[in-house]
Every structure is written in C-alpha cells, then in structure tokens.
Amino acid sequence: VNSLEKRCQWRRPSGGGGVHMSDRGSQQDVEDPDLDGLEYLLHSAPRSCHHCDEVWPSLYLGHMFMSHNKLGLWQLGVTHVLNAVFVHCAVGVGPSATLVLAFLMIHHQHGLLSSLRFVQQKRWIFPNRGFLRQLKVLDRKLQEKGLDE
C-alpha cells in the first residue's frame, strides 16, 4: 500500500489500475479521508489554472478578473444568465470551488472525493481546511440521508 492510499484510506480495485472511487449511489469503496488526506489529494493535482474553466456542462469556475471580462465570457458561450453559470471568487480556487463541489454533491449525487477528482480534471482547486471540514460534514449528512431513503 503506497502512502497516498494509506493517507486517504483508499482501496485499489482488483485487477490493478488507479484508485477506485464510487458515487454515493453505489457500494461505498471509499473510506472517509481525514483533512490531511484531502489536502494531499489537492496538492497532487496538476497545477494548470486558467482565467476560467468549464468544470461541468455550462458551469464555469474562475477568478474575479474573468467576471468583468465580457469578451472572454462571450468567447466561452456565457452570453446570458439563462445558458450558463459562472462561479468566481478572488482567485477562483477556494470559496468558489467549494460552492461547485457542494453543488455536485447535492444535485448530482457525487461523494466528496468523486467531486474533487472530477473538478480537478478541469481546474486546479484548493479549498482551505475550514471549507474541507464543511464539505466533509455535508458528505456525511448526504450519505446518512441516502441510507435512510
């Protein structure tokens, strides 16, 4: 077991390959990682970050400069309030990323790790420890709610 698996308490699927993560709707193969494990996962992500990135269909994550760049938003297809959502904060990696992760967890039934990995494929993010704690609490509540139904 390598240190990433140990720190995040993940299990490799049989047959090799990468780390397996499942959504809340399927059998839970992922334990609840601690904050250090989540931060390690965030640090291990690629560091590319643009002014704005589409992290979900018609859902964009970016920084404050891009929120004032009408031409840039138009080039991305964000032309009206009705066709896309642009979530931003000063740098576009903390509070706005936390909001997008919570959206994926609540409205698309992704677990915390699944949401992190999905957004990381599109943009480098790094919510602070306080936001990570809140996301862990939300993840637990959503898991409990799913078990009750």
pLDDT digits (tens, 9 = 90+) for 117-138: 999 988 888 899 999 999 999 9
8 Å CB contact between 78 and 84 = yes
Residue 17's alpha-carbon distances to 12, 37, 44, 76, 148, in angstroms, are 7, 20, 17, 35, 33
8 Å CB contact between 142 and 24 = yes
What is the domain-level CATH number for residue 97? Answer: 3.90.190.10
Which residue among 8, 49, 52, 89 is the active-site one? 89
More confident site: 69 or 133: 133
More confident site: 83 or 104: 104
Expressed as residue numbers, the domain containing 30 is 3-148
Domain count, the chain: 1
Does 58 score more than 70 pLDDT?
yes
> 126 is written with which tokens?
């790094």
CB burial string 80-97: b at 16+ within 10 A, e below: eeeebebbbbeebbbbbb
CA distance 145 to 89: 30
Known catalytic membership, residue 52: no
According to the model, what pLDDT value does residue 74 have?
A: 80
pTM: 0.61
